[in-house]
Chain A
Amino acid sequence: MELFEMTAAGLSRLLQTEEISAVEVVESFLGRIEKVDPYVKAFITVSAEQALQTAAAVDRQRAGGEKLHPLAGVPVAVKDNICTKGVRTTCASRALENFIPPYEATVIAALHRLGLPVLGKTNLDEFAAGASTETSAFFITRNPWDRERVPGGSSGGSAVAVSTGMAPLALGSDTGGSIRQPAAFCGLTGLRPTYGRVSRYGMVPLASSLDQVGPLAMDATDCALLQGAIAGYDLLDSTSLPDEVPDYGAQLEKPVSGLRLGIIAEQQGEGFDPEINSAVTRAVRVLKENGVIVDEISLPHQRYALSAYRSLVSAEFSSSLGRFDGVRYGLSQPGENINRMFSQSRGLSFGPAVKGRILLGTYILSAAQYEKYYLPAGRARTLIARDYSEAFQRFDLLVGAVTATPAFKIGAKRGDPHQMALADLCLVGNALAGVPSISVPFGAAGGLPVGVQFTAPPLREDILLRVAYFLEQHRESGTIRPRLSFLEEGGGE
């Protein structure tokens, strides 16, 4: 087996016993990127030199007998909306095409401190405002299971990097499904942590009241390892939670029996692909057969989730993108006066999807529309969060589909915000409530991977990872890697 085919936990074992070096590991993944990325276009920037430097430092420390973190030397791909000091951070936008952050995001500082080399920055929808990775200003990322299809988004580049063995682990961000949906479309385990569990400092915001950084990995064990590495309190993020971070890995093998599982009526059934419904049913059956107590639950305000989400995200997005004026950083056009400079710079900076979001947010926040769209969205959010809170009085976790369909064709929903929003149907309610959710690969639909989604009370990522680990032991196929037949056929860009 090649190093790039191994899981992060497998690499960690070999690194700790010094059977392999961190430099060998990084070189293996860089070689894989060179070979595979032209076909799927997951990376915007590959930071080979920095990754090799980190790996060499880890090897020196290990040779010197230093006690290192289990993931020291295991490389990571990072979504390109997370600031990396000295490495271009573009948000897949012309606005930041040449932006080199002078500071490090807290999660990146944690990776450096623990010795995880950063392989590069992965593609996304421009400013993460999308669900397919088609609206990147640079290129579309392709789903390795079928290159005519999207990988999901907005963390599509991160998902494809892990799925194809170009990185064993990746960081994504999830505002309303941007980790979980690409994880489902690419056959990965993707965790949206509790809001505030992972620092957002240095993550370029889409909607600050919803954004959360989280891991994408091949399995629950790897997901638990990376989540443990990035979680924790951060003085630089005022929404950061001060609670202690548990050892997620140590709890994976705890029994699932006795857990109370609620099947969300609104997140499967009519309108969902039959094979996705079947995956949810089979996952529930396996859990029930192993002592999980199952019942149904309705989240009655779920029907307002999409509209509340769209309203709040657009409002927050238009405000936070006000900072891009071309003065201190970012694309800049000289204008005859400062107002023209702002509007020309911003006009050239953003693509149509981002412009649409900015204008919708501007409209919603105007005095005449605030009470019509923004205020009710905040009220609906209260009710949605209350639904989850009441559900967790009865249940330890909830289950439903991640998406109504498997990965869709490139272009099928492009430019149609309504169709694209439907892809977020099961993903935004839990995000509005701030609770953690996980996408677990389980089954397939038409040869494409399918994810089942579990949601837990705040700070109970451990339950989600435990159930994900359990299902891995009980799914039909062991590994969920695409067969990259296109490598033999040629045709990479």
Chain B
Amino acid sequence: MNKLTDDQVGQLARQASLEVDAEECRQLVERLNRELEMLQPLTELDLPAVEPTFCGAAHPAPRREDEVVPSLSLEQVFQNASTRDRDYFKVPQITSWEE
């Protein structure tokens, strides 16, 4: 099994938009490598003919007519927002995106 390195875990953290400091990253490398060891039995499986199961439901979702129901009020929608500007969620400038 190829072990994950600090750099790879740092890269994963960036992909997952998850800030981690150096010490945290070191601990996560250890944790992830232990987790990957546990997944090794899966790599021994050779089952190309078996259809994978990813959905828990063994039945098709029943169909129904669309129905208009009341939705949340603006006050309810914004009640947990960190910053609001009129009827918008306010976030930092998106056009300054880097990386």
Which residues of A come within 8 Å of B, CB atoms? 98-100, 102-103, 195-196, 208-210, 235, 238-239, 241-242, 303-304, 306-308, 310-312, 314, 318, 322, 325-330, 332, 334-344, 346-348, 350, 352, 355-356, 358-360, 362-364, 366, 372-373, 375-383, 385, 415-418, 421, 432, 434, 458
Instruction: Decide: B28 and A359 in contact? CB cutoff 8 A.
Output: yes
Contacts of B38 in A (CB 8 A): 306-307, 310, 417-418, 421
Instruction: Decide: A343 and B19 in contact? CB cutoff 8 A.
Output: yes
Instruction: Decide: B50 and A328 in contact? CB cutoff 8 A.
Output: no
Given contacts A242-B62, A311-B39, A346-B19, contact A352 B47 (CB under 8 A): no
- For chain B, residues 41 to 74, give those with C-beta under 8 angstroms from any C-beta of chain A: 41-43, 45, 47, 50-59, 61-62, 64, 72
Given contacts A347-B19, A356-B32, contact A102 B79 (CB under 8 A): yes
In the assembled complex, the Cα of A397 lies from the Cα of B56 at a distance in Å of: 20
Task: Kindly provide the distance from the CB of A457 to the nearest chain B CB, expressed in whole angstroms.
Answer: 11
Given contacts A355-B24, A363-B12, contact A376 B47 (CB under 8 A): yes
In the assembled complex, the Cα of A376 lies from the Cα of B49 at a distance in Å of: 11
Instruction: Decide: A310 and B56 in contact? CB cutoff 8 A.
Output: no
Which residues of B come within 8 Å of A, CB atoms? 4, 9, 12-20, 24, 27-28, 31-32, 34-43, 45, 47, 50-59, 61-62, 64, 72, 76-77, 79-83, 89, 91-94, 96-99
Given contacts A209-B55, A338-B97, contact A417 B35 (CB under 8 A): yes
Instruction: Decide: A376 and B45 in contact? CB cutoff 8 A.
Output: yes
Task: Kindly provide the distance from the CB of A11 to the nearest chain B CB, expressed in whole angstroms.
Answer: 34
In the assembled complex, the Cα of A347 lies from the Cα of B92 at a distance in Å of: 17
Instruction: Decide: B52 and A381 in contact? CB cutoff 8 A.
Output: yes
Instruction: Decide: B98 and A378 in contact? CB cutoff 8 A.
Output: no
Least CB separation from A102: chain B residue: B76
Task: Kindly provide the distance from the CB of A344 to the nearest chain B CB, expressed in whole angstroms.
Answer: 5
Instruction: Decide: B92 and A344 in contact? CB cutoff 8 A.
Output: no
Instruction: Decide: A359 and B54 in contact? CB cutoff 8 A.
Output: no
Instruction: Decide: B50 and A382 in contact? CB cutoff 8 A.
Output: yes
Instruction: Decide: A359 and B9 in contact? CB cutoff 8 A.
Output: yes
Instruction: Decide: B34 and A326 in contact? CB cutoff 8 A.
Output: no
Contacts of B14 in A (CB 8 A): 343
Q: Which residue, of B40, B56, B61, B64, has the highest number of chain A Cβ atoms within 10 A? A: B56
Instruction: Decide: A340 and B45 in contact? CB cutoff 8 A.
Output: no
The residue from A103, A339, A350, A382 contacting B97, defined by CB atoms under 8 A apart: A339
In the assembled complex, the Cα of A348 lies from the Cα of B41 at a distance in Å of: 34
In the assembled complex, the Cα of A305 lies from the Cα of B59 at a distance in Å of: 22
In the assembled complex, the Cα of A100 lies from the Cα of B77 at a distance in Å of: 11
Task: Kindly provide the distance from the CB of B35 to the nearest chain A CB, expressed in whole angstroms.
Answer: 5
Contacts of B59 in A (CB 8 A): 196, 241
Instruction: Decide: A379 and B45 in contact? CB cutoff 8 A.
Output: yes
In the assembled complex, the Cα of A9 lies from the Cα of B19 at a distance in Å of: 50
The residue from A235, A303, A341, A376 contacting B92, defined by CB atoms under 8 A apart: A341
Instruction: Decide: A379 and B50 in contact? CB cutoff 8 A.
Output: yes
Listed from nearest, the 10 A-B pairs whose CB atoms lie closest are A378-B52, A347-B19, A332-B82, A329-B80, A102-B76, A209-B56, A239-B57, A342-B17, A376-B42, A343-B19
Q: A328-B77, A362-B15, A416-B34 are in contact. List 16 more A-B contacts (CB 8 A).
A: A98-B80, A209-B56, A238-B57, A303-B41, A306-B38, A307-B39, A332-B83, A337-B97, A338-B94, A338-B97, A348-B19, A355-B20, A359-B9, A359-B28, A376-B47, A418-B37
